[in-house]
């Protein structure tokens, strides 16, 4: 029997962990009923990844597909999950364990970002010229993951008509949120839309809501808007199901999704005018 083990990051905020569980529940109708499905967490939530593996084996799985519900490939997906998989392989030598990719840079992430802006009234095709988009990531100690946010910001700029799309981080590395806001203002922004590159709610999202209130007081001449995180956007389900299909070997896995941008550019080739 095959099992699918979805691995959430985990949050000190229980609401964030509940959202991960709810998200997987919503995926269930799109997954073959013969698969056993489990959700676990890397930290701050139960079951742990080791417990999740044990639950799959207990249910009779001889093949486990591990899918990380993580946006960017960093320490957790490069080190912590593989380490847990290695330990599980030793513990359950009869079980075949396959490791899928994190969400990474996927074509549909840009659709989610655009729609999150439209939901708060942004005219993505013809934006206000004084509006800056501040794409906000979690931030970490992995330079590759941090540079991915810069890449996503650039690709998003290419796909929209905003003159300013700036990356910033909630913690660990620079530029931090306050620096990002300051930079946007120095570059002439009169409206700043903070666009969180986060999957679910948690401690950082709730802190961000407080930060936005503080910015409104500190910069009364600048309008601040806060867009929604990815959450239960239907395209997030599409992305995760794509990663599952890849891991199950039912589609050809490219080295990256960038071939899709080449297709997009071939169809919609235009110069970016400001």
pLDDT in tens, 153-177: 999 999 999 999 999 999 889 999 9
pLDDT at 274 over 90: no
Residue of 79, 82, 70, 65 lying closest to 109 (CA atoms): 70
Is-contact 43 37, C-beta < 8 A? no
Distances, alpha carbon 171 to alpha carbons 62, 138, 174, 249, 260, in Å = 40, 6, 8, 36, 31
CA–CA dist 156, 111 (Å, integer): 10
Evaluate the CA torsion angle 10, 72, 75, 168 in order and state its sign. Answer: negative
**Mean pLDDT, rounded, of the chain:** 89
Q: Which residues pair with 3 in a beta bridge?
A: 36, 64
**Which residue segments constitute the domains of the chain, with CATH numbers given?**
2-102 (3.40.50.1400), 107-226 (3.40.50.1400)
pLDDT tens-place string over residues 25-79: 999 999 999 999 999 999 999 999 999 999 999 999 999 999 999 987 665 666 7
pLDDT at 270 over 50: no
Residue of 174, 103, 185 lying closest to 137 (CA atoms): 174
Residue of 240, 209, 200, 229 lying closest to 16 (CA atoms): 200
Residue 78: CB atoms within 10 A of its CB come to 14
């Amino acid at each position: 029997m095959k099992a699918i083990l979805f691995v959430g990051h985990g949050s000190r905020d229980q609401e964030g962990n509940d959202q991960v569980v709810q998200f997987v529940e919503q995926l269930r109708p799109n997954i073959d009923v013969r698969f056993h499905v489990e959700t676990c967490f890397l930290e701050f939530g139960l079951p742990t990844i080791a417990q999740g593996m044990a639950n799959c084996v207990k249910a009779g799985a001889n093949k486990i597909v591990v899918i990380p519900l993580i946006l960017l490939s960093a320490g957790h997906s490069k080190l912590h999950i593989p380490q847990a998989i290695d330990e599980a392989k030793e513990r359950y030598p009869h079980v075949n364990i396959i490791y899928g990719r994190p969400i990474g840079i996927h074509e549909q992430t840009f659709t989610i970002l655009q729609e999150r802006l439209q939901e708060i009234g942004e005219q993505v095709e013809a934006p206000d010229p004084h509006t800056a988009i501040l794409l906000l990531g979690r931030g970490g100690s992995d330079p590759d993951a941090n540079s991915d946010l810069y890449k996503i910001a650039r690709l998003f700029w290419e796909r929209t008509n905003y003159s300013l799309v700036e990356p910033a981080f909630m913690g660990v590395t620079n530029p931090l949120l306050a620096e990002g806001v300051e930079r946007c203002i120095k570059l002439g922004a009169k409206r700043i839309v903070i666009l969180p590159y986060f999957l679910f709610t948690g401690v950082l999202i709730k802190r961000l809501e407080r930060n936005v209130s503080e910015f409104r007081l500190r910069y009364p001449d600048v309008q601040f808007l806060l867009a929604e995180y990815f959450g239960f956007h239907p395209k997030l389900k599409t992305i995760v199901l794509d990663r599952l299909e890849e891991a199950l070997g039912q589609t050809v896995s490219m080295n990256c999704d960038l071939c899709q941008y080449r297709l997009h550019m071939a169809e919609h080739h235009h110069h970016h005018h400001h």
